[in-house]
Amino acid sequence: DVKVTQSSRYLVKRTGEKVFLECVQDMDHENMFWYRQDPGLGLRLIYFSYDVKMKEKGDIPEGYSVSREKKERFSLILESASTNQTSMYLCASSLGGGTYEQYFGPGTRLTVT
Partner 1 sequence: GENVEQHPSTLSVQEGDSAVIKCTYSDSASNYFPWYKQELGKRPQLIIDIRSNVGEKKDQRIAVTLNKTAKHFSLHITETQPEDSAVYFCAARRGGADGLTFGKGTHLIIQP
Chain positions contacting partner 1, by CB under 8 A: 31, 33, 35, 40-45, 48, 50, 56, 58-59, 90, 94, 96, 100-107
Nearest distance in Å: CB 24, partner 1: 14
Nearest distance in Å: CB 14, partner 1: 26
Closest CA to 89 of 70, 75, 73, 102: 75
If the CB atoms of residues 14 and 53 are measured against partner 1, the closer one turns out to be: 53
- CA of residue 14 relative to chain centroid, distance: 19
* Pairwise CA distance, residues 4 & 99, whole Å: 17
If the CB atoms of residues 58 and 63 are measured against partner 1, the closer one turns out to be: 58
Residue 27, phi then psi, degrees to nearest 5: -115, 20
Nearest distance in Å: CB 28, partner 1: 16
CB 96 within 8 A of CB 103: no
